[in-house]
Chains A and B, each alone.
Chain A
Amino acid sequence: MNNGRRTAPGPSRRDFLRLSGAAGAALGLSACGFGRTGGGGTALKVWDQFTTSPQNEAVRKVYDLYRRSGGFTIDRTTQPGDQMATVGKTALASGTGPDVIYYEVGKGNAGVLAEAGLLRPLDDLAAKYGWLKKITPFAAREARLDGKLYGLPNETETTVLFYNKTLIDKAGLTVPKTFDELLDFCARAKAKKYVPIAYGQADVYPCWWAFSLMANNIVGGRAMGDLIFDGRGSWNTPQMRQAIQLFFVDLVKAGGFIDDLNSLHGPDAQSMFLAGKALMNINGTWAVGAVEKGLKGQEVGIMPMPSIDGGDRVYPAGTGSAYYISARSKHADEAGRFLDSLYQPEALRVWVEQGKIFPPVPFDPSGWTLSSLQKQALTAAQNGGGDATRDLGYSVNHGKAAPGFLNAMTSGFQAVVQGRKTPARQADDLQKAWEKGL
């Protein structure tokens, strides 16, 4: 510079080009996969949602059984369910996603992927491996979309009332068998400074469980199945209004829950139960492991909602998620073999004993190490404790339940508890949201 002022020496054009070249090379190498870790051989990309213990460890063992039987290496990715719902969709659409994905069943979940052609129909593989002869009819119903089988359900989830018998005895109360007894139980438990039922609906899903328990008892399991999966029936019938009234109004008034149940999260409600502050907890058989661990040495049982007007006591059941094969997977046959391996006897034992998960297939658990609570949960999952056609029902958030219907349940039941909405209006709103989602 000849103007007498010095300017800061910057990089020359050559320096810049060198820098750009280096950056380009680095980008190129990373695009080619340089630096990636992973085992050798062909890998089957599997995405699942088993992020918590003890399921995570059990799943690892089950996958290992498949690999040791001559299968591909498993390239496993775990994500919580809500994250899977957003990331999984994009990954499958991009064509670079997993070969196998463990995804939420139902019209608003896997149904969206199936409609978009992102999932491979499994009818041919089901025929080859005889899956439809193994899995329970309700599980097959969950994974069917427009007459085609798309997924392989892996766990029977039953919504239940956990009760702490030790604490109930200590409080001088008895486990209620009818809804009237439950109302009385709540009033007396509250007077003794116990929280009768640990239940909060700050999260979106606990009210689905509660409504499932009530509606199945009043309407019956078979009718609920017809409504949820085939759209036969409606949500604004007198029975549905009664189901809403009894739980979200009468039980609240009877002091069944903490005063501010809309601000209590599901996990916090469970913590309350595990801490011995509550006598019961609305939850599902998926929580058996956590309950056993948290209430060690105490007698804990599970039961469906007490009988309403002398009716049946029905366990709502569902298969939260199922394994699906990507339509773009280059290893569909191997993916089929992988899915079949999940139902092999050795794998079933790991699922049940260690994972506390009950696959929807018949199996003989004699000789297996199962706790009392596990046995109760297993019985509930297999036949509802009696006749499966009568005592096992369906979860209201499955089948044709679209996301709008789920939202209508969550916000609507919160409003009913607040006294801002009547059960009749909520039932009407549910019906409208249901029809809109069909």
Chain B
Amino acid sequence: MATTMTRARPPLAGRSAAPAARRRPGDRRVSGYLFVLPALAVYAVFILYPLVQSVYLSLTDWDGARPHKRFIGLGNFDRLVHDSLFWRALGHNLIWVVLGTAAAMAVSLLLAMLVWSRPRGFTLFRTVYFMPQILPAIIVGIVWSWIYSPAFGILDRGLSAVGLGSWSHGWLGDPDFALYAVLVASVWATVGLAFVIFTAALHNVDQDLLDAARVDGAGAWQRFRHVVVPQLSSAVTLVTVLLLVHGFQAFDHVWIMTKGGPDNSTQLLATYTYQKAFMENEVGYGAAISLVLTVLSLVVSLAVVRLRERGER
């Protein structure tokens, strides 16, 4: 920040201004640091310190209660490698991230395109599409559990009402369907933010380019693919990174709806972390799983940003 400010300062006009000028940069630097300090302190206390603590805990076999933490080196990570449930949870996470990101991206972009021309009722549509985003996860989880309920769920009743009763299912109770059923609820809840970002980005799409493409005979799909999408690249990057990180951190909807079951078929790394650390009193092992999750999120997010930047060049 200080460097930027110094660069922005124009050359001084005269020699008489020199003493004041020498004093000002220092003053501004101090002020700058003081302004940054609270945010830095918050970041250090709530992000850096817990991260360092997590690393430390992952090297211990602490149960969350004992006053002393026994150092076991990389023992937890060695155990991770041989833990079949960890790999299963990781596989579920990958499905979740890939499918969840693609679905949320596609749906939100489609919705944004539909209201791009600001049709009548635009504000209502925007509110309705965004609303799931502001609902607490617990509400989303409970409502979707009701929708899927085999006893009184609206989904199975709806299917029966239209003659598709044979499709009725215990959606959250079947290990083959449960992960996807929860994912649908999660996508529904996360589409709102991506929709708003795409809606804002679409307002900046150059209409002249679109008109030129139309004059040149480009069809709707070609205009979308070659004119609109390139102008949304920053928004696409932002949304992708947000959805990826959100996907890796997925916990709440799964925990509320299935608690990782049935038969661990919806177990994700975050739910497995919680289970180990807080239900089975293996805080050290839970910290090791959470670190893997953190590293994965970071690596994938950085990779996406780098790929995008390279594409833009």
| A and B assemble together | yes
Q: Which residues of A contact B (CB under 8 A)?
A: 2-3, 10, 13, 16, 85-86, 89-90, 92-93, 108, 112-113, 115-118, 201-204, 258-265, 268-269, 271-272, 277, 402-404, 407, 410-412, 414-415, 418, 420-421
Q: Which of B10, B12, B64, B275 contacts A407 (CB 8 A)?
A: B275
In the assembled complex, the CB of B94 is this many whole angstroms from the nearest CB of chain A, namely: 21
In the assembled complex, the CB of B266 is this many whole angstroms from the nearest CB of chain A, namely: 11
Determine if B278 is an interface residue (Cβ-Cβ < 8 Å).
yes
Q: Which of A10, A269, A410, A421 contacts B261 (CB 8 A)?
A: A410
Determine if B31 is an interface residue (Cβ-Cβ < 8 Å).
yes
Q: Which of A258, A404, A415 contacts B150 (CB 8 A)?
A: A258
Known pairs A3-B10, A85-B279, A118-B65; A259 contacts B34 (CB<8 A)? no
B67 touches A263 (CB 8 A): no
User: Which residues of chain A are within 8 angstroms of B148 by Cβ–Cβ distance?
Assistant: 263
Bound CA–CA A117/B34 (angstroms): 44
Q: Which of A3, A116, A260, A420 contacts B67 (CB 8 A)?
A: A116
Determine if B30 is an interface residue (Cβ-Cβ < 8 Å).
yes
Bound CA–CA A264/B173 (angstroms): 7
Bound CA–CA A116/B150 (angstroms): 43
In the assembled complex, the CB of B288 is this many whole angstroms from the nearest CB of chain A, namely: 17
Known pairs A85-B279, A202-B173, A420-B175; A262 contacts B65 (CB<8 A)? no
> 0/1 per residue, B253-286, Cβ < 8 Å to A?
0000011011110000000000100111100000
Interface centre among B27, B178, B279 (most CB of A within 10 A): B279
B31 touches A16 (CB 8 A): yes
User: Which residues of chain B are within 8 angstroms of A272 by Cβ–Cβ distance?
Assistant: 151
B31 touches A117 (CB 8 A): no
Q: How many A-B residue pairs have CB under 8 A?
A: 115
- A-contacting 9-mer, from B132-140, B164-172, B183-191: B164-172
Determine if B101 is an interface residue (Cβ-Cβ < 8 Å).
no
In the assembled complex, the CB of A244 is this many whole angstroms from the nearest CB of chain B, namely: 15
Known pairs A16-B31, A203-B259; A260 contacts B174 (CB<8 A)? yes
B263 touches A411 (CB 8 A): yes
> Residue of A at shortest CB range from B37?
A20
Interface of B (DSSP majority class): loop
B280 touches A407 (CB 8 A): yes
User: Which residues of chain B are within 8 angstroms of A403 by Cβ–Cβ distance?
Assistant: 279-281
User: Which residues of chain B are within 8 angstroms of A259 by Cβ–Cβ distance?
Assistant: 150, 170
Offer 14 A-B interface pairs, CB within 8 angstroms, sorted by A: A13-B34, A90-B64, A115-B65, A116-B63, A117-B67, A202-B172, A259-B170, A261-B173, A263-B172, A263-B173, A402-B280, A414-B175, A414-B261, A418-B174
In the assembled complex, the CB of A314 is this many whole angstroms from the nearest CB of chain B, namely: 28
User: Which residues of chain B are within 8 angstroms of A411 by Cβ–Cβ distance?
Assistant: 261-264
Bound CA–CA A404/B63 (angstroms): 14
User: Which residues of chain B are within 8 angstroms of A204 by Cβ–Cβ distance?
Assistant: 259, 261
Bound CA–CA A115/B170 (angstroms): 42
Bound CA–CA A201/B35 (angstroms): 54
B66 touches A13 (CB 8 A): no
Bound CA–CA A271/B264 (angstroms): 26
User: Which residues of chain A are within 8 angstroms of B124 by Cβ–Cβ distance?
Assistant: none
Q: Which of B13, B31, B150, B262 contacts A414 (CB 8 A)?
A: B262
Which 3 residue pairs are nearest across A and B when measured between Cβ atoms?
A: A260-B170, A263-B173, A262-B173
A268 touches B151 (CB 8 A): yes
> 0/1 per residue, B137-155, Cβ < 8 Å to A?
0000000010011111000
In the assembled complex, the CB of B170 is this many whole angstroms from the nearest CB of chain A, namely: 2
Known: A204-B261, A262-B262, A411-B261. 9 other contacts (CB 8 A): A13-B27, A90-B64, A117-B67, A258-B150, A258-B151, A260-B169, A277-B151, A407-B279, A407-B280
Interface centre among B13, B170, B279, B281 (most CB of A within 10 A): B281
Bound CA–CA A89/B239 (angstroms): 38
> Residue of A at shortest CB range from B66?
A116
In the assembled complex, the CB of B274 is this many whole angstroms from the nearest CB of chain A, namely: 9
User: Which residues of chain B are within 8 angstroms of A201 by Cβ–Cβ distance?
Assistant: 262
Bound CA–CA A421/B175 (angstroms): 13
